Structure 1
Amino acid sequence: MTEKVAVVTGARRGIGLGIAKRFLQEGYQVLLAAASPESAAEELVGQLNEQYGREESRPALYLQCDISLEEDRKNLFAFVQEHYGRMDALVNNAGVAPNVRLDLLDTTPESFERLVRINLEGTFFMCQGGANLMLRQLREGLEDFRPRIVNISSMSAYTSSTNRGEYCVTKAGISMVTQLFADRLAEAGIGVFEVRPGIIATDMTEKVHEKYAKLIEEGVTPIRRFGRPEDVADCVWAAAGGLLDFATGQVLNADGGFHIRRL
């Protein structure tokens, strides 16, 4: 039986790594991609293959890819086609936060453009490239092939943070990217989904850990704990694993209930 293949961007740490591990647990071949060079991920990939390898196989590979660069995106999809010949799941998780949190009235064009280029433009064209590859592979009649795309946005897609407005704008944009591709690809049977993480304990939130810990303690989320990468990975797997195919375009909130409007 042919092993299925998942591609996860921003997978060297945090949420992306948690998602990659979930696919490995489910028996997928996984291509981890991130902007860091291969040398930075060599030890990680070795550990993953030791933990999840089956009969000396190496189910985890790593490829350097800056999703904001067209050439890197093309190289990634070319590698997938040449090395695997199929891509059953594409998880667009790569993204960045502002280098410095600034009040909305002080946000710089440089910061705004950087986040748009990586978070929004990068995700859009990863969806485009992934969709075209999946459509081509569908025409090839691959065995047991029902590809899906999952975009990772954030509760910031609908939540105002006036000291990082450019981040909120890009995450809101990802929501529309998801709807557009879900609509366009529905006739081909390719499901496209959005997962919105909430307050997740990662290195990205470490600098504001104390602030978020206090908010959680005060009840900002009905489930009063930090989220874990595994919580996000569970939502990704629900979509990418085929449980939600009739619900294409669906948003899954991995946020401890933050999205619930409460009095």
Structure 2
Amino acid sequence: MAPTHEEMTAPPIPVRPVAIVTGGGQGLGLGSALALAEEGFDLAVIDLAPEADPAVMEGVVARGAAVRYYQLDISDLDRQPEVLRRIREDFGRLDCLVNNAGIAARPLTDILELSPEAFDRSVDVNLRGTFFLTQCFANLLIASGAPEDRVYKSIVIVSSIAAELVSTDRSQYNVTKSALSMVVKLYAQRLAEYDIHVHEVRPGLIATAMTASAGNTIADDWIEGGRVPLARWGQKEDVGQAVATLAAGRLPYMTGQPIWVAGGLNISQAP
């Protein structure tokens, strides 16, 4: 089935790079898409819904970007190449992939009671889907050759503080997010010869519908109890700014490293 796509255009701007954002219809993906639009990127938004949310599309266009929407479950490996090729045909180029799409561990389940089905679903989306979408995107960039405009090429993988901080009631999420940190290193090493930079962004306690769905007060308790030095919830715009900074190449001598967007939550504190 051909990907669903819709187009909304802004006035033409010379040599606008193109970024793909998975899970770009909401939450951290939306924050990233809006920040990238402000940074001068045109956007290909990928998400699960059959059709684009008009408010999302209008928000991107309002920031001066062209945007198209593509329906894809990233765990569907067979459709990944088709969708990426369609994006390249529609925009005429590819410059950045933001791997943001993922699923939370819901319901929260003790590690001693976790089912294989729940574990496998997280692996299929968070790890397997991201790994092979990155592979497909990288191969398309390599096949395109070095661009004459020398636009910075990058892949940004959005992981989580769960890549390092243990939560035994969401173990499948911890496992997949920690594995993504190694995926970043592997692709950073392999793609460096092609001048493709690979980055990891680790969000902390960010106010989104996904975090709200946990149904507990642990994050609020951490913030109020001093576990987070910058004592507030992070916002999707905080993550978006980090993603846009990396995608724009403003940290050019860096690849394969995590950027924590967590208000200092990662700082080890003495008892």
**One fold, TM greater than 0.5?**
yes
Instruction: Provide the alpha-carbon RMSD of the alignment.
Output: 1.4
Q: Whose helix fraction is larger, Structure 1's or Structure 2's?
A: 1
62, 69, 72: which one aligns with 2:79:
72
**Cα distance 1:146–1:138, how it changes in 2: closer, same or farther (>3 A)?**
farther
TM-score by length of 1: 0.93
21, 31, 34: which one aligns with 1:21:
34
1:155 match: 161
1:52 maps to 2:34:
no
1:170 maps to 2:176:
yes
- Helix, strand or coil: the match of 1:170? helix
2:102 match: 95
1:35 match: 48
176, 185, 192: which one aligns with 1:186:
192
Q: Distance in 2 between matches of 1:176 and 1:50?
A: 35
What is the CA distance between 1:81 and its match in structure 2? 1.6
**Cα distance 1:49–1:97, how it changes in 2: closer, same or farther (>3 A)?**
closer
- Helix, strand or coil: the match of 2:79? helix
Deviations 1:76-123 (A, max 9, x none): 211122111211111000000123111010000000000000000011
1:82 match: 89
Q: Check whether the contact 2:18–2:41 (CA below 8 A) recurs between aligned residues.
A: yes
121, 124, 129: which one aligns with 1:117:
124
- Percent identity between matched residues is 40
Point out the more displaced range, 207-216 or 159-168.
207-216
- Helix, strand or coil: the match of 1:248? coil
Q: Check whether the contact 1:8–1:90 (CA below 8 A) recurs between aligned residues.
A: yes
Q: Distance in 1 between matches of 2:195 and 2:159?
A: 23
Q: Distance in 2 between matches of 1:209 and 1:231?
A: 23
Deviations 1:155-187 (A, max 9, x none): 000111000100000000100000000000011
What is the CA distance between 1:240 and its match in structure 2? 1.0
- Helix, strand or coil: the match of 1:246? coil
Give the alignment of 1:123-138 within 5 angstroms.
123-138=130-145
Q: Distance in 1 between matches of 2:148 and 2:48?
A: 30
One-letter identity of the residue aligned with 1:241: A
Q: Check whether the contact 1:11–1:20 (CA below 8 A) recurs between aligned residues.
A: yes
- Helix, strand or coil: the match of 1:244? coil
Q: Distance in 2 between matches of 1:172 and 1:160?
A: 10
What is the CA distance between 1:45 and its match in structure 2? 4.1
Point out the more displaced range, 19-28 or 241-250.
241-250
Structure 1's consecutive aligned runs of 4 or more residues displaced over 3 angstroms after TM superposition are none
Report the number of matched residues. Answer: 256
Q: Check whether the contact 1:45–1:62 (CA below 8 A) recurs between aligned residues.
A: no
What is the CA distance between 1:137 and its match in structure 2? 2.1
What is the CA distance between 1:217 and its match in structure 2? 0.4
Q: Distance in 2 between matches of 1:240 and 1:250?
A: 14
- Helix, strand or coil: the match of 1:12? coil
1:3 match: 16
Q: Check whether the contact 1:4–1:28 (CA below 8 A) recurs between aligned residues.
A: yes
2:10 match: none
TM-score by length of 2: 0.90
1:204 maps to 2:192:
no
Point out the more displaced range, 25-34 or 15-24.
25-34
**Cα distance 1:209–1:138, how it changes in 2: closer, same or farther (>3 A)?**
farther
What is the CA distance between 1:138 and its match in structure 2? 2.6
Q: Distance in 2 between matches of 1:77 and 1:31?
A: 10
